[in-house]
Amino acid sequence: MKIFDMKSLKLTLAITLLTGNLSFGQESNPELKALIQKSFNYFPRLKELSQQVEISTFREDVTRGGYRPVVSASATYSYLNPVSIINIPTGPNTIQEIQTQPYGNQNANIAVNQLLYDFGRAKHSLEKSKYDILIAQDNLELNKATLASQVAATYFSILYLEQSIVVQDSVIQYFNQYKKLIDNKIKRGDALEFDALTAQSNIDQAGNRKVDLQNQLQRQYNLLAYSTGESQTSLGNNTPLDFPLGTILEDSLMAIARQNNKELSASKKRILYQEEDLALNRRNFMPTLNLNAAAGFKNGYQPDIAQTRFNYLIGAGLSIPIYNGNRSRNQVKIAESTLLSTKFAANNAEAGVKRDMDQALADIQASTDRLKNIESQISQASRALELAKSRFKNGTITYVELLNSQTNLQQAFLFKLQYEYQMTLAKVELARLMGITYW
């Protein structure tokens, strides 16, 4: 049972379906798009996968060679001694020697071997090669999507931390102002030294929290440099902490994912690849028919065995497999099991995408509800702080009570940033799962 109805989710997804591919505009955030493109151009893993696509293309060319003739040229010379000599009597006292083979044997020719029919072996090998290219391309796109998601998550982490530091700076500024006010009250005898010590302690604690935030921010900048190959100093000036999506029904989300998610696409192609592999292994029980032809020059022909003469041959050969120790039969069993395993893996991948998508939707819904509540808390905390400031100036409450009011407002602002950040990450993850292209 679901905690909430996914179909009632109130997010308006601005998604455009184009030629079977989702494209998602980030015109409002060109900075993020530029960072993702830098990571694509730099990240070594993508370069490695690009080479894998090229290798798969070369393999397809090699497989296509199965349709083409094999042409070879050879030239040999061999000296043979002794050779066969036939003695033929030609008279009462005469014998004629006939040499059947020359001492020096010469042979030069060009040979052609062409596959005429192999009952589909070459065809299925070529189909395997084509799917191998498509799988390599999907793996490249999948890694691009994963890298883009990582860069986006890092980028929004930087925005979140920078905005949190801004809030923390305002808190420190506020504490310093009231520390001066307390110092003046102590001089007039209207406050205790304890209040001044408490105020200084709050300033120090707020300063330490800022240092922690700055340390986390530097880590995110380091991670971004690792992904893009370039060091950044500042990002996202006045950029809202948001990744624009909107709401569509849960069923539509999964349908889009099946069409555009590269992990699911690669899983389908692996099944087709294994089906071709199974069909190819079953063809190993079939014969192959080849055409053989050769033409060249050699000696050894009677009556003048030393003379080099033109010669040629043409013929066909049929190779029929009879027994090979059950290797072909076992290869078929392996291919059948591998195909079944690949189908299970595809089902598992789809179930994983569905699970992660449901979790991302749940995170978005939870963040949406939290943001609605936090707005009310911010309004109440702001009003409470204004009242506390007035009462503190009139001496009706202590600094500690004023501090509690300020802390409540600070926490509310930080919680709002945190919920916006969590929603943004959930939207980035949902975009990745759906196969949305936003770079």
Lowest mean pLDDT among 19-23, 125-129, 336-340: 19-23
The pLDDT, as a whole number, for residue 152 is 95
Over residues 139-168, mean pLDDT: 94
- CA distance linking residue 279 with residue 273, whole number of Å: 10
Q: What is the pLDDT of residues 271-296, one digit of tens each?
A: 999 999 999 999 989 999 999 999 99
What 3-state class would DSSP assign to 246? coil
Q: CB-hemisphere CA count at 13 Å for 361?
A: 28
pLDDT tier, 250 (very low <50, low <70, confident <90, very high otherwise): low
Pairing of strands 85-89, 95-99: antiparallel
pLDDT at 225: 93
pLDDT above 70 covers what percent of the chain?
91
Exposure string for 367-381, b = 16+ CB within 10 A, e = fewer:
beebeeebeebbeeb
CA–CA–CA angle 336, 341, 342 (5° rounding): 100
In this predicted model, what pLDDT tens digit does every residue of 50-65 receive, in sequence order?
999 999 999 999 888 8
Segment 156-191, tens digit of pLDDT:
999 999 999 998 998 888 888 878 877 887 777 766
- The per-residue pLDDT for 51 is 94
Looking at this protein, which amino acid is placed at residue 372? K
Alpha carbon distance 289, 302 (integer Å): 34
- Burial (CB count within 10 angstroms: exposed 0-12, middle 13-18, buried 19+), residue 313: exposed
Q: What is the pLDDT of residue 3?
A: 38
Confidence of residue 352 (pLDDT cuts 50, 70, 90): very high
What does the angle CA 26 – CA 30 – CA 32 come to, to the nearest 5 degrees? 85
Residue 28 scores a pLDDT above 70: no
d(CA 436, CA 15): 8
Q: Which residue has the tokens 């893996």?
A: 345
| Preceding amide of 244 cis, omega within 30 | no
Cα 203 from chain centre: 46
Say which residue the tokens 């998602």 belong to: 24
- Lowest average pLDDT, out of 9-18, 74-83, 244-253, 386-395, goes to 9-18
192 has a pLDDT exceeding 80: no
Q: Which of 135-149, 214-228, 233-247, 301-315 has the lowest mean pLDDT?
A: 233-247
Strand order in the sheet with 288-298: 70-79, 104-117, 288-298, 309-319
Strand pairing category for 16-18 and 85-89: unpaired
| Packing angle, helices 327-393 and 250-260, rounded to 10 | 130
pLDDT of residue 179: 82
pLDDT at res. 10:
34
Is 111 in contact with 14 (CB distance < 8 Å)?
A: no
Both tokens of 54, joined, read: 């090229």
Q: CA-based Rg of the chain, rounded to a whole angstrom? A: 40
**Taking residues 304-326, what's their average pLDDT?**
92
pLDDT band at 389 (very low <50, low <70, confident <90, very high): confident
Cα(417)–Cα(126) distance, rounded to whole angstroms? 54
- For the entire predicted model, the pTM comes to 0.79
pLDDT at residue 195, rounded to an integer: 74
CA 383 vs CA 331, 387, 391, 409: distances in Å: 77, 6, 13, 9
Q: What is the mean pLDDT of the chain?
A: 87
Strands 16-18 and 309-319: unpaired
Of 200, 162, 153, 155, nearest in space to 179 by CA? 200
128-143 CB burial, b ≥16 within 10 A, e <16:
bbbbbbbbbbbbbbbb
Query: At 15, is the pLDDT very low, low, confident or very high (cuts 50, 70, 90)?
Result: very low
In this predicted structure, the answer to whether residue 400 has a pLDDT above a threshold of 80 is: no
Given this structure, which CATH class describes domain 6-68+119-286+325-434? mainly alpha
Instruction: List, for residues 74-111, the tens digit of each pLDDT value.
Output: 999 999 999 888 888 877 788 888 888 899 999 999 99
pLDDT at 433 over 50: yes
Percent of the chain scored above 90 by pLDDT?
59
Confidence at residue 401, expressed as pLDDT on a 0 to 100 scale: 82
Which of 171-180, 193-202, 412-421 reaches the highest mean pLDDT?
A: 412-421
For the four alpha carbons of 183, 184, 187 and 192, in that order, the dihedral sign comes to negative
pLDDT value of residue 5: 42
Kindly state the average pLDDT of the residues 205-220: 93
Q: Is the pLDDT of residue 23 over 50?
A: no
Q: Is the pLDDT of residue 317 over 80?
A: yes
